[in-house]
C-alpha cells in the first residue's frame, strides 16, 4: 500500500451503486487514482473509466499491476459469485468483497435458507424444487399466497409474490420451463408470504467483526402504492423509523452474528458488506434474503449520509481492523428516487436522449447517480431499465423528499417513469 502518494482504487461495476461508491471514495483523504471498470458517464467525472473484460482474468490482473492498484472494490454480485475475489487475492491484490464460498449466501438462495435454518435465524417457511411438476403439485396442495424465487442470481427480478395459485403456477413455468432467468432457475424456492414492512439493513463485516449501518426502506414494486411487477428498486429512504434501535440491535444479534457463525462452521470467513433484506412481522424481523454486496438504490442514500472516510472503512474491513473504526453518519434524512425507462421491468427502449441532469445535480444537497446511461457524442442517453437515481438530503424526511422531487422535475426523457410516493409513508410500506 502507498498511503503517502494516495491509494489507487479500482471499482468494478457500471451502475448507480458504483457511481455512489466512487463519489464517496473521491472524498477520502488517502485516495489516489480511481479506476471505474467500466463505469458510466457519471463516474467519468470522478474516475478513469476503463473498458475491460473482467472475465479475462489475465488481462484484468495485468491492468491492475500496471496501474499499481492497491484495492479493488467489487460492486455487482455476478463477479463475486464467480470468484473474482479469490483470483485477486491469489495474485496478491487486496479486494473488498466476499470470496466465492461466502458469496453463496446470495448466489444460492437454498444454501442461504439451509444455513439460516441450521442457525435458527428467523425466516419464512420454504421448500425447494428442481422439478417443475413437483413444484406445481406442491402449489396445488397448499393455500396461498406464495413467494416464488429462482435460487440463482436474477438481477433482483427472480422473485414473484403470487396471491393466486394461477399466478404462482405461471411464475414456476416462466422460471423452470421458459428459463427466463437461465440457469438461475435450475432450482426454485417456494416460501410462505410474510406480511409486514420491508427493510434493508447493511453491515460492514470482517470475519466476526460486524458494524451495522443505519437501516433503509426500499420500494420494489414499479408503481405508486406498491403495486405492479417487482423491480430492482424504484426508490429508497434512510433512516427508516420502522427499524427502531431495539429492532436493529436484535437484527445484529439474531441475524448477522449467527449467519457469520454458521459460515465460520463451514470454514468460510466473510469480508465485505452483507445485506439483510428483512420483513418486520408481528412476530419480529424475518430474513427475506441476503445480498453479498452493497444494495442499489440503498448505496446511494447511505453514501449521501456517510460522514466517515469510506476508504478507511474499506481498508479496515480488508485488514481485519473493523473494530478499530467508528463510522459517523449525517443526522439528516436521505431519499433516493429512481427514474426508469418506459416498460421496465419488462422490455424497454434505449438510446433516448436525457435532459436536465446537470441542472438537477446543481441543487444543494442533491446528487444524481447514473445507473443505465451512455454517451452518444455530446448527448446523454438511456442505456438501461433503471436510468438514474436522484438522491437528496433534508433536515427531515419530508424535506429530503421535497428536494429529491424538485431535482427530478428538472430531468426529462421520453417515457421516463418514476414513483411519486418514495418516502411518503415512513411508518409502513
217 band by pLDDT with thresholds 50, 70 and 90: very high
What's the order of all strands across the beta sheet hosting 188-192?
Answer: 126-129, 188-192, 146-150, 159-162
The β-bridge partners of 336 are 236, 391
**3-class SS at 137?**
helix
Q: What is the mean pLDDT of residues 172-177?
A: 91
| pLDDT exceeds cutoff 80 at 2 | no
User: Residue 378: is its pLDDT beyond 80?
Assistant: yes
Domains recognised in the chain with CATH numbers:
7-99 (3.40.50.20), 131-186 (3.30.1490.20)
| Three cell numbers written together for 162 | 403470487
Task: Please give the Cα distance from 129 to 131 (Å, whole number).
Answer: 6
What pLDDT does 156 receive? 66
| 110-120 pLDDT, tens digit each | 899 999 999 99
Q: Cα dist. 421→23, 126, 222, 301, 338 in Å?
A: 26, 32, 11, 16, 11
Q: Mind listing the pLDDT tens digit for each residue in 367-377?
A: 999 999 999 99
137 has pLDDT over 70: yes
Q: Name which of 408, 368, 391 is nearest 40 in CA terms.
A: 368
Contacts of 69 by beta carbon, 8 Å cutoff, 6+ apart: 8, 9, 10, 35, 93
Distance CA 152, CA 17 (A): 21
What are the E-state strand segments in 341-429? 366-370, 373-376, 379-382, 386-394
- pLDDT > 90: what percent of the chain? 81
Q: Give the span between the Cα atoms of 22 and 36, in whole angstroms.
A: 8
| Residue 329, burial from CB neighbour count under 10 angstroms (0-12, 13-18, 19+) | middle
Residue 1 reports pLDDT greater than 60: no
Q: Measured in whole angstroms, how far is the alpha carbon of residue 351 from the centre of its chain?
A: 25
Q: Residue 144: its pLDDT value, please?
A: 80
Q: What is the three-class DSSP state of 121?
A: coil
pLDDT of residue 5: 65
User: For the chain, what is the mean pLDDT?
Assistant: 94
Residue 429 clears pLDDT 50, i.e. is over it: no
Residues 243/201, Cβ–Cβ less than 8 Å: yes
The pLDDT of residue 142 is above 60? yes
pLDDT digit string, tens, across residues 37-71? 999 999 999 999 999 999 999 999 999 999 999 99
**pLDDT over threshold 50, residue 241:** yes
* Residue with grid cell 475491460, as numbered in its chain: 52
- Entry pTM: 0.92
Whether the ω angle into residue 304 lies within 30 degrees of 0, i.e. cis, is no
Is residue 426 over pLDDT 70?
A: no
Average pLDDT over residues 292-314: 97
pLDDT of residue 126: 85
398 Cβ contact partners less than 8 Å away, ≥ 6 residues apart: none
Using alpha carbons, list the distances in angstroms from residue 197 to 120, 200, 226, 300. Answer: 21, 10, 12, 21
When pLDDT is cut at 50, 70 and 90, the band that residue 331 belongs to is: very high
Amino acid at each position: 500500500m502507498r498511503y503517502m502518494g494516495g491509494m489507487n482504487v479500482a471499482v468494478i461495476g457500471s451502475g448507480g451503486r458504483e457511481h455512489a461508491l466512487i463519489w464517496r471514495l473521491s472524498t477520502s483523504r488517502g485516495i489516489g487514482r480511481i479506476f471505474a471498470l467500466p463505469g458510466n458517464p457519471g463516474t467519468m467525472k470522478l474516475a478513469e473509466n476503463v473498458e475491460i473484460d473482467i472475465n479475462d482474468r489475465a488481462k484484468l490482473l495485468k491492468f491492475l499491476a500496471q496501474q499499481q492498484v492497491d484495492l479493488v472494490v467489487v460492486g455487482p454480485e455476478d463477479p463475486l459469485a464467480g470468484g473474482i475475489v479469490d483470483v485477486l487475492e491469489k495474485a496478491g491484490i487486496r479486494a473488498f468483497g466476499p470470496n466465492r464460498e461466502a458469496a453463496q449466501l446470495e448466489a444460492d438462495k437454498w444454501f442461504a435458507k439451509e444455513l439460516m435454518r441450521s442457525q435458527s435465524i428467523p425466516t419464512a417457511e420454504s421448500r425447494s424444487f428442481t422439478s417443475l411438476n413437483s413444484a406445481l403439485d406442491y402449489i396445488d396442495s397448499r393455500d396461498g399466497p406464495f413467494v416464488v424465487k429462482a435460487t440463482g442470481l436474477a438481477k433482483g427480478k427472480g422473485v414473484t409474490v403470487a396471491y393466486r395459485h394461477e399466478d404462482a403456477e405461471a411464475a414456476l413455468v416462466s422460471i423452470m420451463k421458459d428459463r427466463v432467468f437461465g440457469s438461475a432457475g435450475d432450482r426454485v424456492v417456494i416460501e410462505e408470504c410474510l406480511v409486514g414492512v420491508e427493510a434493508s439493513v447493511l453491515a460492514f463485516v470482517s470475519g466476526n467483526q460486524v458494524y451495522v449501518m443505519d437501516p433503509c426502506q426500499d420500494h420494489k414494486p414499479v408503481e405508486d402504492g406498491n403495486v405492479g411487477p417487482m423491480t430492482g428498486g424504484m426508490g429508497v429512504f434512510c433512516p427508516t423509523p420502522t427499524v427502531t434501535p431495539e429492532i436493529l440491535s436484535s437484527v445484529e444479534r439474531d441475524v448477522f452474528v449467527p449467519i457469520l457463525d454458521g459460515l465460520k462452521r463451514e470454514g468460510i470467513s466473510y469480508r465485505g458488506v452483507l445485506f439483510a433484506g428483512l420483513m418486520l412481522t408481528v412476530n419480529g424481523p424475518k430474513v427475506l434474503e441476503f445480498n453479498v454486496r452493497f444494495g442499489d438504490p440503498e448505496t446511494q442514500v447511505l453514501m449521501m449520509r456517510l460522514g466517515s472516510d469510506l476508504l478507511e472503512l474499506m481498508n479496515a474491513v480488508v485488514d481485519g481492523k473493523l473494530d478499530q473504526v467508528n463510522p459517523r453518519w449525517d443526522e439528516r434524512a436521505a431519499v433516493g428516487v429512481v427514474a426508469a425507462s418506459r416498460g421496465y421491468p419488462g422490455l424497454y427502449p434505449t438510446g433516448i436522449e436525457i435532459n436536465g441532469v446537470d441542472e438537477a445535480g446543481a441543487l444543494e444537497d442533491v446528487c444524481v447517480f447514473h445507473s443505465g446511461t451512455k454517451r452518444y457524442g455530446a448527448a446523454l442517453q438511456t442505456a438501461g431499465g433503471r436510468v438514474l437515481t436522484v438522491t437528496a438530503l433534508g433536515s427531515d424526511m419530508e424535506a429530503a423528499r421535497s428536494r429529491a422531487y424538485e431535482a427530478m422535475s428538472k430531468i426529462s426523457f421520453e417515457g421516463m417513469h418514476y414513483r411519486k410516493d418514495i418516502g411518503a409513508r415512513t411508518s409502513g410500506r
